[in-house]
Structure 1
Amino acid sequence: MRKYDQLKKKKNIIIEGINQDVNSFDNISKESKRVADVTDNVLVVLNEIEKNFKQVTKLNKLDISFLMLAIALQCARQYIFTNDKFKLAKSSDGDKLIKGNLKKVTPKAWQDILFGSVPYDAVHKTDRFRDMNLNTGISGASHRYRTLGHDPIIGWIIGPINILSDSVTKNDFITTYKVNDMKLDGFFPGGTIGALDIACQQIEAGTWSLPAAVTKQAIHFGADYFTKQGLPIPVLSTVNEDMAKIILTKYHINTYTVMRGATMSILINSIIESIHTLFYDEVNDLSIDLYKVRSRKILMYSNVIASSSNILYTAISQDISKLDVGGILVTLYRIINDTKFINEIKKEFLEKEFYKIVMGENISFTGGEL
């Protein structure tokens, strides 16, 4: 009887094992069929995942409120801080503003360089040079875009060279004039190379000559930066002088207006993004990356709408001086950068969701859960 019970028990174990194997084969068959179905309908599956991504990153009522606020702030910025507003009347006002603070802490030994006039501001000729009847093309109205010392980028190199060598270099990089007592006094011996040679000799002769010249360049940029004419768009005068002239003198678009527009736009974007992040809900918003996609959409949409309205207004009014160049540049950056960010998050989302679908959930090959 005992032997019979043992045989029966072994039989039951074998049958149970066979049943498990059958179940396992059945599960494998079902799983293989499911994966095959997914493989045959990859585009359909990806489209569904993409729809899900659009759904979870769609702007909700709160997001729309932030979008409206961002648009309002960006548009208000454009019409409050126009290109012709908040500038000093003349560069001498800027000189007074900056020098008034620096004289208190600047050693007297540096005064000749730091507080003297920069030579590339010279527009009048000496009697000797005037008798030569040569047109330099440099005047009070044109010297900002015709002299390289005023270029916001190239000026950091040419400006100190002119300051140290008492010269002024035109935007062709070749023509350089001597300056005596703030008057143009003929061509500089050796041209621009000659001015560079003299500047190098000055640097070798005095330890503080170069730092003083660079500081003077910064001071003068600070003085000219906020004036009505301002500093020209970097490098533009070396490429197209006529365009630089029109943009600077007629439409009042200069480095200050561009940088101010861009800075204000970036500031508003940062404020909106920071406040919007505070409303992130770990439970309802799934993941912080998906929430950031909504934040980026708010910023990109608001910048595009604000810049589009500005371009439309400028076109209708036919007044290019109203063009928000800085804001438009920020908008272009946002379109490129935010689109890249959204696509990266979208790619990651698609990969994760597709992996889940392919692998399935609660997959079992032995009758139990993995």
Structure 2
Amino acid sequence: MTNTITCVKTPAFLSGISVLTTNHVVYTSDFKDPRIATYGSTSVMLQQAAERTKDQPGAFVASLIKQLIHIGTDLYTPCGIQIPGANLILSNTQVEKLTGYISAGDIFKVGTSAKLADLINLLISTLHMLMYGNLYSARTRKIVLYSNMIATGSNVIWVGSNMYAGNEDAIKQLDIGGLIVTVQRLIYDTEYIRRIKEEFVFGGFNKKIQGDGLEDISWD
């Protein structure tokens, strides 16, 4: 929107401190071969962008779409995209090394995988509850928990066996998002099932003392 580029640099006189710098971008006469030119003002750049957005909202939308496309095409390239904000803390060399191990695409992949696992769990839970009602909520959670454990366990075993066989790239196939969801459900669902069982046992015991019958419901 403003023919500028904002980077994070560490000036020589500020060793170890990263600052934002805005530079003008120049092109050839046919608007090709973009190059970084002289320094500009970051505050003026933001002001000009805001004014253009007010006068030409379509320009902002077009710029946003182009940036999203640019990020999307680079997200899973071999070089990857660095974690946002990493260069505010680390040096360029450190950021490059970090991106080689984990990039923004990896984090996005984990988040997407976790949300997909949550969606599948929700669908299974909804279908089971529609068939059997709220009375079997503990059993529903057991089914979802066991299915998550089987899926995650299979993935871990597959990745582990391939890495043991010498395929180190197999680690990239580890479903970290699904693993996180499984651990969360293992913690919270186990506690939920324990609490429901406890309420049922003590509630049934009170009824038995009062002379009422204790309904026999299987938890398996």
TM-score range, shorter chain: 0.5 to 0.7
When Rg is computed on C-alpha atoms for both structures, the one with the higher figure is 1
The reply on whether 1:336 has 2:162 as its aligned counterpart is no
Q: Distance in 1 between matches of 2:189 and 2:121?
A: 18
Q: Distance in 2 between matches of 1:221 and 1:200?
A: 22
TM-score, normalised on structure 1? 0.42
Question: Which one has more relative contact order, counting CA pairs under 8 Å at least 6 apart?
Answer: 1
Stretches of structure 2 lacking an aligned partner (at least 5 in a row): 9-17, 28-33, 213-220
Q: 1:224 to 1:233 in 2, by over 3 A?
A: same
Question: 1:228 is matched with which residue?
Answer: 78
Question: 1:186 is matched with which residue?
Answer: 38
The number of residues matched between the two structures is 193
Q: Distance in 2 between matches of 1:322 and 1:342?
A: 31
Q: Counterpart of 2:54 in 1: which secondary structure?
A: helix
Question: 1:299 is matched with which residue?
Answer: 148
Structure 1 residue 353 displacement after superposition:
1.1
Question: 1:255 is matched with which residue?
Answer: 104
CA contact (8 A) 1:261 1:325 kept: no
Q: Distance in 1 between matches of 2:72 and 2:46?
A: 24
Q: Distance in 2 between matches of 1:258 and 1:312?
A: 24
Stretches of structure 1 lacking an aligned partner (at least 5 in a row): 1-163, 365-370
The amino acid that maps onto 1:202 is R
Question: 1:246 is matched with which residue?
Answer: 97
Q: 1:324 to 1:288 in 2, by over 3 A?
A: same
Q: 1:317 to 1:279 in 2, by over 3 A?
A: same
Question: 2:48 is matched with which residue?
Answer: 198
Structure 1 residue 316 displacement after superposition:
8.7
Q: Counterpart of 2:79 in 1: which secondary structure?
A: coil
Question: 1:208 is matched with which residue?
Answer: 58
Q: How does 1:31-46 map to 2 (within 5 A)?
A: none
The amino acid that maps onto 1:259 is F
The reply on whether 1:358 has 2:206 as its aligned counterpart is yes
| Higher normalized strand content (fraction of residues) | 2
Q: Counterpart of 1:179 in 2: which secondary structure?
A: strand
Q: How does 1:61-80 map to 2 (within 5 A)?
A: none
Q: 1:237 to 1:199 in 2, by over 3 A?
A: same
TM-score, normalised on structure 2? 0.65
Question: 2:3 is matched with which residue?
Answer: 166
The amino acid that maps onto 1:221 is I
Q: How does 1:304-343 map to 2 (within 5 A)?
A: 306-307=155-156, 310=159, 319=168, 322-324=170-172, 327-343=175-191
Q: Distance in 1 between matches of 2:112 and 2:181?
A: 13
CA contact (8 A) 1:277 1:295 kept: no
Structure 1 residue 350 displacement after superposition:
0.5
Q: Counterpart of 2:20 in 1: which secondary structure?
A: coil
Q: Counterpart of 1:174 in 2: which secondary structure?
A: strand
Q: 1:266 to 1:317 in 2, by over 3 A?
A: farther
Post-superposition CA distance 1:95-118 (Å, at most 9, x none): xxxxxxxxxxxxxxxxxxxxxxxx
Q: 1:322 to 1:278 in 2, by over 3 A?
A: same
Q: 1:343 to 1:247 in 2, by over 3 A?
A: same
Q: 1:177 to 1:299 in 2, by over 3 A?
A: same
Q: 1:296 to 1:273 in 2, by over 3 A?
A: farther
Structure 1 residue 268 displacement after superposition:
6.5
Q: 1:193 to 1:309 in 2, by over 3 A?
A: farther
Q: Counterpart of 1:323 in 2: which secondary structure?
A: helix
Q: RMSD of the TM alignment (CA)?
A: 3.8
